[in-house]
Amino acid sequence: MNLWSLALRNLLRNRRRSFATLLAMVVGLVAVLLFGGYRSNIAYGTQTGFVQQTGHLQIQRPGYYLDGGDNPAAYGIAGYRRIIDAIQRDETLAPMLAVITPTLRLGGIAGNFSAGLSRSVLAIGLIPEEHNRMLAWNEHGVVSYARPLPLAGSLPDAVVVGTGVARKLGLCHLLDAANCTPPPRTDDGQPTPDDIAALSAGERGDAAADAGTRIEVLAASARGAPNVASLDVVEAKNMGIKAFDDTYMAMHLATAQRLIYGGGEGQATAILVQLRHTAQMPAAAARLRELLAREFPGEALAVIDFATLNPMYGQTNEFMDSMFGFIALLIGVIILFTLGNTMSTAVIERTVEIGTLRAMGLRRAGIRRLFLCEALLLGAAGAVAGIAAALALAWLINHSGWTWTPPGYAYAYLILVRIGQDLPLLVGSVAGMFAVTLLSAWWPARRAARLVIVDALRHA
């Protein structure tokens, strides 16, 4: 206890220098925590967004991820319902499941032929109620930009399109008119061509819809013949990424299956598995592979995680981690030299005092402990003040309403910082600062302990 009291009095002996050193440590820790909190928010935010859309794991045919995006008929899973039932009955997997649902992805041509407009689209057939339950997943409590699809409870011919698709098809009444300029007509504006109208007549049935929202979607069926569905656009949704927004279309799974498989057995291109917690992914993936191999040995199926399905997730994390590592290293070096200079100056100023203590019987280890205690006191004060300042600044940033638009995105996102919610960041940053503090104080403390008593006593 006397050692810590003596170390505190030594720090207060030169308050200005101690305060300047403490200030450098506080500023450094605040910078590391703020950027680390910003990195954490981006990492958790992107993870939440991808898991909401694609699930933690997907069951697909081998090769579909790389080569099957434009050929759903060749990579369809015929018995997907039996697979889903088996997974839901499994005693190991059932407690982990949040949502499990099939999807069917297909490419096609969407046309607003009354306006003489058409464009290529990438459509997804889904079960709206299950998809909306996936969008509600938010394990980390981040600000979620996902909104439920209005397909739940809608007619079978309902469809949601991206705002880019709506703009290119001239559906300006679904958008802000100021941001919508229909493209030039590709024909004389005549009604839907007779051949396409004939193909879609059976799909349309008796469904009533506003002619201004009715579009036709042309796709290649499983046998290679063209198939057309007449659909009613119920909403134009901004998908965030412009390239995605310009091709996005979501429809009921049954409608998508009729487009591809006609009156035959409907299939799915993927089974999405969303877990309650991301940490369960390795165990769930291993169990899924074991279950599929045992229960469905004749089916060639692969289990793919969301990071593989969404390479942007790993690329974003790698970039942010490299930036955080560089900033933390730079600040650590600054603190190292600042505190090292402070301790070295203290050793020089107190050379006679060190010689006196050694002459009174204090061992070299005691001298080392004295200077290390001073460094630890500075580190503790810097940690407390730095955490408090970082939390205060994080609160201000999180309530400032600052936004930015990431590259390739169509709308702005809030700038948010997660510090209090990220315990590993807090513990790691404080531990790192104490490590730098001890490292910077070790060499001056060692030099002070090795001083010759006689030389120290006659030092002027």
The angle formed by the CA atoms of residues 82, 87 and 92, to the nearest 5 degrees, is 155
Convert the pLDDT of each residue in 404-449 to its tens digit.
777 666 667 788 899 988 889 999 999 999 999 988 888 888 888 7
More confident site: 251 or 355 = 251
Residue 451: both structure tokens together: 């001083």
Q: Whole-angstrom Cα distance, residue 410 to residue 402?
A: 16
pLDDT at position 206, please?
45
Residue 180: left (phi > 0), alpha (psi -120 to 50), or beta? beta
As a whole number, mean pLDDT of residues 154-158 equals: 90
pLDDT in tens, 253-291: 999 999 888 877 889 999 999 999 999 999 999 999 999
Q: Tell me if 291 sits within 8 A of 86, measured CB to CB.
A: yes
Q: What per-residue confidence (pLDDT) applies to 207?
A: 45
Query: pLDDT confidence of 196, banded at 50, 70, 90?
Result: low
Residue 127 near residue 102, CB atoms below 8 Å:
yes
Q: Write down the pLDDT at residue 64.
A: 85
Listing DSSP states for 389-435 in one string gives HHHHHHHHHHTTT-EE--TTBSS-EE----STT-HHHHHHHHHHHHH
3-state secondary structure of 271: strand
Mean pLDDT on 380-405: 91
What would the mean pLDDT of 79-100 be, rounded to a whole number? 94
Alpha helices in 55-161 (DSSP H): 64-67, 80-89, 128-135
- Tell me the per-residue pLDDT of 299-353, one tens digit each, with 9 for 90 and over: 889 999 999 999 989 998 999 999 999 999 999 999 888 888 888 888 877 777 7
Whether 139 contacts 278, CB under 8 Å: yes
Mean pLDDT in residue range 108-136: 89
Q: How much is the pLDDT for 181?
A: 66
The CA-to-CA distance between both ends of the chain, in Å, stands at 31
Cα angle value 283/284/286 (rounded, 5°): 65
- Identity of residue 132: N
Percent of the chain with pLDDT over 70: 89
For residue 256, CA distances in Å to 52, 128, 228, 266, 318 come to: 21, 13, 10, 9, 37
Query: What share of the chain in percent tops pLDDT 90?
Result: 41
**pLDDT of res. 341:** 87
Q: What is the mean pLDDT of the chain?
A: 85
Token pair for 187? 């024909």
Report in angstroms the alpha-carbon separations of 264 from 60, 258, 300, 392.
20, 8, 21, 61
Is pLDDT above 80 for 221? no
